[in-house]
Amino acid sequence: MKNRWAAATALAAALMLGTTACTFSAEIATQKDYDPSDGVSTEFGELSVYNAMLIGEDPDALNLVMTVFNPTDSVRRVEVQWFVDGERVTESIFAEASGLTSVGGPDQPSLLVTGLDTVIGGLVPLYFSTNTGSVSELLVPTLRGDLEEYDEYAPEFVVVPDEE
């Protein structure tokens, strides 16, 4: 009788170990940071950029849509830089103190990224920095503005410079 009990216990333990052992070494996916939308995120210094994406129909004029988190108790200037024909282009926005600042949506501050040599669906390197010297490079996806979910974020017009 003891042999049967020992064999049954050993079989149950082997079965349990064989079916659940990989759980002990598997990475817990719910604890991994990820971007739940089409945009990408980064941190630089004390600030964070969430869900950054470029939206538009024309790759020469794309609307930068993102949310900036500023946990500090003062307004911070955020510079966004990109390169056009080897020249650096810099635009700025201000991140409100102790909270979130949304950029690029209806009734929000906007930042138009122009002059890019890219295609819709590609990735564009943008550089985010503050006056504290923290810099982060982020490969930002470019998305079509005619998609229903991004229609309200596409630029309304394109400024064409005078050619002289």
Could you list the mean pLDDT of each consecutive 10-residue stretch along the chain, which spans 164 residues? 77 74 67 82 95 94 97 96 95 96 94 93 96 92 92 72 53
d(CA 62, CA 113): 5
CATH for 63:
2.60.40.1890
142 located within any domain? yes
**Overall domain count for the chain:** 1
- 34, part of any domain: no
* 110 occurs within a structural domain: yes
pLDDT for 158 equals 45
Asked whether 156 and 132 are in contact (CB, 8 A), the reply is no
pLDDT at 65: 97
For residue 19, what is the enclosing H or E element? helix 2-25
* CA 157 to chain centroid: 25
Q: What is the pLDDT of residue 20?
A: 66
44 in a structural domain: yes
Within a domain: residue 20?
no
pTM for the structure as a whole? 0.78
pLDDT at residue 24, as a whole number? 65
Which whole-number Å values give the CA distances from 18 to 21, 24, 156, in the listed order? 6, 11, 60
* Residue-range definition of the domain harbouring residue 102: 40-153
